[in-house]
Amino acid sequence: MEATRKHNLIVQVGFQNRSAPYGFSAREYIRSGKLGKIVTVKCYNMLGGGKWSEAPETAVPAWLDWDKWLGPAPMRGFSPSIVDENGRGGWLSYWDYSGGGLADDASHVMDLARMVIGDPDHPKSVYGWGGNHVFGGTRETPEYQSIVYDFGEFTLSCDNAYATNYMTKTPNDIRMDKTKFPNWRNNSTRTEIYGTEGLMYLGRHGGGWQVLGKDNQIVAEDGGVFPDKEHQIDFIQSLRTRKTPNGEAEQCHKSATLVHLGNIAYRTGNKQLLFDPTTERFLNDEQANVLARGKYRKGYEITN
């Protein structure tokens, strides 16, 4: 963020929902007061999964520069469970390489939620719970976690799972059709925004939004499609005009911070952690500040 401001750079973060027209209309609907005062916001990333165990270590394959792939992470033996030549690999199961599912699909859900409710500042505290209590595998990142963030006048929560095989992402035919909406009850990547006047269901990467009033009556809606093209166009327009891109660094950093807060609360023992939004430090747990800083292998250090 400092480099962006100092050098007048154009930085577009890959939170593509920030360029979704239906995200803008959802924000305007909430800003107009029609949803009433926000009571609570619930984000979901309820994906399927199963028991996960690491495959035995093997020789590093010829197609891979293992040292560079590991980067700042500690050197260790290669396992095909971590990275695959033709697939995504299982690196989301390791803290050294990822923030788990919370840093994957769930980050997009929470970022869109923050955007439509007006991009609030950092929360005052976070409570995180999680574990591998479902299948009992050996993955480091949790099979299930449930997080609550305190934003002062309302809470935002996120449930992130690799254990709910009956939940489904928005189907592609709905993601690409403004006239269709998901079945919200079993939609795995939805947001629910509860206001005093209605409940807004909001889709991630397409799906649009609908507001329900009394007796499940739909009182407002706007369809929406997969927004990657709009995000790419916005970046090009920002380069040409020097306008601030939709996915600008500061707000996207604050969304990414929600991921780190939730994971650190889990990794410090399923605790409630108090957070100073100004200094971006934890107030009641020094281990949490150590985890926030991270460690870097020699040759890959990041210094201030």
Task: Find the DSSP H helices in 151-276.
Answer: 172-175, 228-241, 249-267
What's the rounded Cα separation, in Å, for the pair 84 and 90? Answer: 8
Q: Give the residue-averaged pLDDT of 61-89.
A: 95
Query: Among 214, 100, 118, which Cα is nearest to 161's?
Result: 100
Contact 39, 194 (CB under 8 A): yes
Q: Give the residue-averaged pLDDT of 180-202.
A: 98
pLDDT at residue 303 is higher than 80: no
pLDDT at residue 304 is higher than 70: no
Q: Is residue 155 part of a domain?
A: yes
Band (pLDDT 50/70/90 cuts) for residue 88 is confident
Band (pLDDT 50/70/90 cuts) for residue 25 is very high
Q: Is residue 299 part of a domain?
A: no
Q: Is residue 98 part of a domain?
A: yes
Looking at residue 235, which CATH number applies to its domain? Answer: 3.30.360.10
How many domains does the chain divide into? 1
Q: Is residue 300 part of a domain?
A: no
Contact 92, 54 (CB under 8 A): no
The secondary structure element, H or E, covering residue 286 is helix 286-293
Residue 172 belongs to domain spanning:
2-293
Q: Are strands 144-150 and 155-162 parallel, antiparallel or unpaired?
A: antiparallel
Torsion sign over Cα 232, 233, 236, 241:
negative
Cα angle, residue 135 at apex, residues 130 and 141 outer, rounded to 5°: 40
What's the rounded Cα separation, in Å, for the pair 244 and 84? Answer: 37
pLDDT at residue 130 is higher than 90: yes
What's the rounded Cα separation, in Å, for the pair 225 and 230? Answer: 10
Q: Which amino acid is at 96?
A: D
Q: Is residue 141 part of a domain?
A: yes
Q: Is residue 302 part of a domain?
A: no
Band (pLDDT 50/70/90 cuts) for residue 66 is very high
Any idea how long the chain is?
304
pLDDT at 87 (0 to 100): 87
Q: Per-residue b/e over 38-48, b at no fewer than 16 CB within 10 Å?
A: beebbbbbbbe
What is the residue-averaged pLDDT of the chain?
A: 96
pLDDT at 289 (0 to 100): 97
Q: Give the residue-averaged pLDDT of 78-100.
A: 94
pLDDT at 65 (0 to 100): 97
Q: Give the residue-averaged pLDDT of 231-238.
A: 98
Q: Is residue 167 part of a domain?
A: yes
Band (pLDDT 50/70/90 cuts) for residue 152 is very high
Q: Is residue 27 part of a domain?
A: yes
Query: Among 148, 152, 128, 154, which Cα is nearest to 285's?
Result: 128
Q: Which residues does 238 contact at the CB level (< 8 Å), separation at least 6? A: 10, 12, 244, 245
What's the rounded Cα separation, in Å, for the pair 22 and 198? Answer: 18
pLDDT digits (tens, 9 = 90+) for 237-278: 999 999 999 999 999 999 999 999 999 999 999 999 999 999
